[in-house]
A and B are shown apart, each in its own frame.
Chain A
Amino acid sequence: MSTMVDLRAVTKRFGSFTAVNDVSLEIAEGEFLTLLGPSGCGKTTLLRLIAGFDTPTEGSVWIGGEDVTHLPPYRRPVNQVFQSYALFPHLTVAENVGFGLRMQHIDKTEAAARVTEALALVSLTGLDARKPHQLSGGQRQRVALARALVCRPKVLLLDEPLSALDAKLRRSMQLELKRLQRQLGITFVFVTHDQEEALTMSDRIAIVNGGRIEQLGTAHEIYHRPATRFAADFVGQANLLEAQLLLQDSECVRVAVTGGLELTLPLAAWPAGATVALIAMRPEKVHVSKSRSSTAFAPGAANIFQARIEEEIFQGATDHLILVTAAGTRLGVVVANESALGDIFHAGDLVYCGLHTDDLVVVKAE
């Protein structure tokens, strides 16, 4: 698959402030790529550099194999769905959607047909004559989407398009956007600060922090193998443990983490030559059982330790447990509230924990 958007060592400064710091990113044709990061990290600025509203201070922007660094937005094969939707208040829905075609001098009858088609695509048939202020938030969002899609862009940019919708509508729009993207095969660059949204929708996620891309990968890679402390913390939850090297053989390392708990990791996971490192542990990857002989303790679970439940927080489908190991390390774990066959946990219970060596990830501490 060929590269559609290519950011090459792009830096954007506003005065002395660096909003985007030496970012290189290749987005494949037909890919759904999400820029995920906290507010103010530079996501919108990255999008604006692709759209052409800003030009990079350094580096270049390529779209479809062409250097567009200095092309104005109206010459780029890119369309955007704005966070505020930015529908033109004086135009009807049909005129809003047809605006881009009008600018391209597309023949009137063809334009009308394409507008109808685009409105049907986003399930807005019959609302052609309405003005934006006569629409609900969700409908406006769809008009903004149709207005961008009708131009058949090579890349669609979406800047937190769902953030103004209520939770339920948001979920259904997430699925619909994903469906549209698959159906049309257009490259989507989607901006959000919502990690769940990013995990649900994306082919790949770029974790943005402080103007840099901290990690780029599929949802699975980002979640299961976070590369940095920030990525581990921002996507999902993680126990972050400072680890000190104790022993090392040809396959494994033995480390002691904050509080004293000793764990075993594959040698390959440990940074060569390091004596200390930061380990991320997802709370649901710790198997918890009341008896040591439970089937949960598969042979791979090289890390087996005892702990006492300090606190139990019932959350419906899951239980959050705060554990304190015999050595004194505190861990947050999540267990499924299974059928009556499973264990039932209470604060004060003594439990056995098992952890596969591969579920311990060493992350960069910076």
Chain B
Amino acid sequence: MPAPLTAAPRRRFPSGIRLVDYTLTGWTALVMGFLYLPIIVLVAYSFNRSRLNIVLESFTFAWYQRVWENGPLLRAAQNSLLIATVSTVLSVLLGTGGAWLLHRYRYRGARSLQTLVAVPMVMPEILMGISLLILFATAGMGLGFTAVIIGHVTFSFPFVLVAVQARLKGLDPAMEEAALDLGATPLQAFMLVIVPCLRPAIVAGALMAFTLSWDELIVTFFTTNAASATLPIRVFGMAKVGLNPMLNALSAIFIVATAAFVLFSNYLKKLSR
């Protein structure tokens, strides 16, 4: 077991020169502004009474109320959560199991499988959406939750697989053998020893899979039906009709939820280390 290495202290150049100081500070401010100004504007307008995103009028919670009362939107949020959760669980199972089989066993086709698995990560989503649509149509399978979840799993499980594989490369091969030696069957060795060793990678992969599914638009667009429409699909539909302060409020909620999710995932990662 490698002892955790203490990171070498990062070396910083003492600036000393004023011009460098100012330039760097300015550059930092520019980046921050570029990243966060649109968000700040959006949040500000979500509390604006005016229907137009131009003039700031008086303060209101009305748009948030409208979001809360919008049934289809809430259902879409529920759908998104359900789809993201289910496809994350499936991706973790497929990705972790697949990585282990590819790592542990040598069999015919393993190498080509390794390459093929990476394809969905780089394939344009629009291609994937269309091909899935054709597949489901040919198979006579209706669109909806199952189709969307299959679509999401297809592009997110490779991320879990790759993360787990990277971790497996650094895993002591004697770890599994020690478990077998102590009387564990191969399945017990995998579940009781290997999986716990892989936990940081599994958590990272799961977070990735969840995030990918949560804000996915294009593949969902090709595979969904009205009942399974996700939040991005609804928002996209609303935005096509015209910008609406309700969207600002919704986006603000999204931002807060995302920030909470990021904090939570950092916490999870810290736990699993």
Partner-B contacts on A (CB < 8 A): 51-53, 72-74, 78-80, 82-90, 99-100, 103-104, 132-133, 140, 147-148, 151
A84 to B3, CA, bound (A): 13
Q: List 22 A-B contacts (CB under 8 A).
A: A51-B181, A52-B180, A53-B180, A73-B180, A74-B182, A74-B184, A74-B185, A78-B181, A80-B177, A84-B172, A84-B174, A85-B1, A86-B172, A88-B178, A88-B179, A88-B193, A89-B197, A90-B197, A103-B182, A103-B188, A104-B183, A140-B1
Which of B1, B182, B184, B199 lies at the interface centre, i.e. has the most chain A CB atoms within 10 A of its CB? B182
CA distance A147 to B175 in the complex (A): 13
B48 CB, min distance to chain A CBs, angstroms: 52
Do B182 and A86 have beta carbons less than 8 Å apart? Answer: no
Please count how many residues in chain B sit with their CB below 8 Å of the partner chain's CB atoms: 21
Residue of B nearest to A153 (CB): B181
Say whether B1 contacts A87, CB under 8 Å.
yes
B3 touches A88 (CB 8 A): no
Q: How far apart are the CA atoms of A79 and B178 in the complex, in Å? A: 9
User: 4 other contacts beyond A51-B181, A74-B184, A90-B197, with CB at 8 A cut-off?
Assistant: A88-B197, A103-B188, A133-B1, A148-B182
Contacts of A87 in B (CB 8 A): 1, 178
> Across the interface, do B182 and A82 meet the contact criterion of CB distance under 8 Å?
no
The smallest C-beta distance from B248 to any residue of chain A, in angstroms, reads: 46
Is the CB–CB distance between A74 and B1 below 8 Å?
A: no
> A87–B197 Cα gap in the complex (Å)?
11
- Chain B residues 132-183 with CB under 8 Å of chain A are 172, 174-175, 177-183
In the docked arrangement, what's the CA distance between A147 and B172, Å?
A: 17
Whether the Cβ atoms of A79 and B1 lie closer than 8 Å is no
| Closest B residue by C-beta to A83 | B174
A-facing residues in B166-224 (Cβ within 8 Å): 172, 174-175, 177-185, 188, 192-193, 196-197, 199
Residues of A within 8 A of B1 (CB): 84-85, 87, 89, 132-133, 140
B237 contact set on A, CB distance < 8 A = none
Given A90-B196, A103-B184, also A82-B4 (CB < 8 A)? no
Tell me whether B179 and A99 are in contact (CB under 8 A): yes
Is the Cβ of A86 less than 8 Å from the Cβ of B178?
yes
Contacts of A72 in B (CB 8 A): 180
Asked whether, in the complex, the Cβ of B180 is within 8 Å of the Cβ of A82, the reply is: no
Asked if A79 and B177 sit within 8 Å, CB to CB, the answer is: no
Q: In angstroms, how far is the closest chain A Cβ from the Cβ of B16?
A: 42
A100–B183 Cα gap in the complex (Å)? 6
Contact of B183 with A88 in the complex, beta carbons under 8 Å? no
Tell me whether B181 and A74 are in contact (CB under 8 A).
yes
| A84–B176 CA distance with the chains assembled, in angstroms | 12
How near does chain A come to B202, taking the closest CB pair, in angstroms?
Answer: 13
Bound together, the chains give a CA A140 to CA B199 distance in angstroms of 22
Q: A73-B177, A84-B174, A88-B175 are in contact. Are A99 and B196 (CB under 8 A)?
A: no
Tell me the complex Cα distance, A132–B172, Å: 14
The residue of chain A having its C-beta at the shortest distance from the C-beta of B193 within the complex is A88
- Which 6 pairs across A and B sit closest by C-beta, in order of nearness? A103-B183, A100-B182, A86-B174, A86-B178, A90-B196, A73-B180
The complex places the Cα of A50 from the Cα of B199 at a distance, in Å, of 32
- What chain B residues lie within 8 Å of A82 (beta carbons)? 174, 177-178
- Are B181 and A80 closer than 8 Å at their CB atoms? yes
> Quick one: closest A residue to B272, CB to CB?
A90
CB-contact partner of B175 in A73, A79, A86, under 8 A: A86
Least distance between A36 CB and chain B CB atoms (Å): 22
> Are A73 and B181 in contact (CB-based, < 8 A)?
yes
- Please name all residues of chain B whose beta carbon is closer than 8 Å to the beta carbon of A100 when the two chains form the complex: 182-183
Chain A hits for B199, CB < 8 A:
90
Q: How far is the CB of B203 from chain A (nearest CB, A)?
A: 13
**A149 shortest CB reach to chain B, Å:** 12
Question: Is A53 a contact partner of B182 (Cβ separation < 8 A)?
Answer: no
B177 with A88: CB separation less than 8 A: no
- Which residues on the A side are within 8 Å of B196 (C-beta)? 88-90
Given contacts A86-B172, A86-B175, contact A151 B180 (CB under 8 A): no
Across-interface contacts of B179 in A (CB, < 8 A): 88, 99
Are A74 and B197 in contact, CB atoms less than 8 angstroms apart? no
**Chain B residues within an 8 Å CB radius of A89:** 1, 196-197
Chain B residues with CB under 8 Å of A51's CB are 177, 181
Q: Which residues of A contact B183 (CB under 8 A)?
A: 74, 100, 103-104, 151
Q: How far is the CB of B270 from chain A (nearest CB, A)?
A: 15
For A74, the chain B residues whose CB sits under 8 A away are: 180-185
Do the beta carbons of B182 and A79 come within 8 Å of each other?
Answer: yes
Decide if B177 touches A86 in the complex (CB within 8 Å).
Answer: yes
Distance in Å from the Cβ of A133 to the closest Cβ of chain B? 6
Write the chain B residue with the least CB distance to A48.
B177
Which residue of chain B lies nearest to A150 when distances are taken between CB atoms in the complex? B182
Provide the bound-state CA to CA distance between A128 and B97, in Å: 32
Chain B residues whose C-beta falls within 8 Å of the C-beta of A133 in the assembled complex: 1, 3-4
Contacts of A73 in B (CB 8 A): 177, 180-181
Q: What are the residues of chain A within 8 A of B185 when measuring CB–CB?
A: 74
In whole angstroms, what is the CA distance A133 to B1 when docked?
7
Contacts of B172 in A (CB 8 A): 84, 86
Closest B residue to A131 by CB, please name it.
Answer: B1
Contacts of B181 in A (CB 8 A): 51, 73-74, 78-80, 148
Closest to B2 in A: A133
| Distance between Cα atoms of A104 and B177 in the complex (Å) | 17
| Min CB gap A164→B, angstroms | 11
- Nearest CB on A from B195, distance (A): 9
Name the residue among A84, A85, A132 with the largest chain B CB count within 10 angstroms: A84
In whole angstroms, how far apart are the Cα atoms of A104 and B199 in the complex? Answer: 26
- Write the nearest CB–CB distance from A320 to chain B, whole angstroms: 40
Query: B184: nearest residue on chain A (CB-CB)?
Result: A103
CA distance A78 to B180 in the complex (A): 11
Question: CB-defined interface of B18-57 with A at 8 Å, one 1/0 digit per residue?
Answer: 0000000000000000000000000000000000000000
